[in-house]
Amino acid sequence: QLQLQESGPGLVKPSETLSLTCTVSGGSISSSTYYWGWIRQPPGKGLEWIGSIHETGSAYYDPSLMSRVTISVDTSKNQFSLKLNSVTAADTAVYYCARGPVTGDHWFDPWGQGTLVTVSS
């Protein structure tokens, strides 16, 4: 059964870079036509799609974050990563990684359990 697990610092200072990794187990990140995505949820608020990447490196990003975000894939480690630079308090959220379907669409299942990242000095 495919499982995803987010990891990274839980506290990031303002203006610094948020870096998270999603480790995939129970399946290969480079199989078939899946997209792998990052979604976040500010405390008490709704879900926000950040971006998605294919194992070939083809990526989609939310335009509102595009200037600050990079998503990359490391097939040798079966991981994909998120970097968000110049963070502010508005970037405080639970960050989820998730997989899209084999069709190459962009709904998500399964999801990781999520990791809370707080931006504060």
Partner 1 sequence: AIRMTQSPSSLSASTGDRVTITCRASQRITSYLAWYQQKPGKAPKLLIYSASTLQSGVPSRFSGSGSGTDFTLTISSLQSGDFATYYCQQYFTSPFTFGQGTKLEIK
Binding residues for partner 1, rule: CB under 8 A, are 46-49, 52, 60-64, 96, 98, 101, 105-109, 111-114
Concatenating the DSSP letter of every residue in 33-87 gives: T-EEEEEEE-TTS--EEEEEEETTS-EEE-TTTTTTEEEEEETTTTEEEEEE-S-
Q: In this complex, which beta carbon is closest to partner 1, that of residue 16 or of residue 94?
A: 94
Q: In this complex, which beta carbon is closest to partner 1, that of residue 64 or of residue 88?
A: 64
Least Cβ distance, residue 54 to partner 1 (angstroms): 13
Least Cβ distance, residue 15 to partner 1 (angstroms): 25
Least Cβ distance, residue 46 to partner 1 (angstroms): 5
Least Cβ distance, residue 47 to partner 1 (angstroms): 4
Would the CA dihedral through 103, 106, 107, 112 be positive or negative?
Answer: positive
Closest CA to 33 of 5, 50, 3, 56: 56
Residue 57 has, within 13 A of its CA and on its CB side, a CA count of 1
Q: In this complex, which beta carbon is closest to partner 1, that of residue 29 or of residue 100?
A: 100
Rounded CA Rg of the chain: 13
Residue with tokens 């187990």, as numbered in its chain: 25
Q: In this complex, which beta carbon is closest to partner 1, that of residue 67 or of residue 109?
A: 109
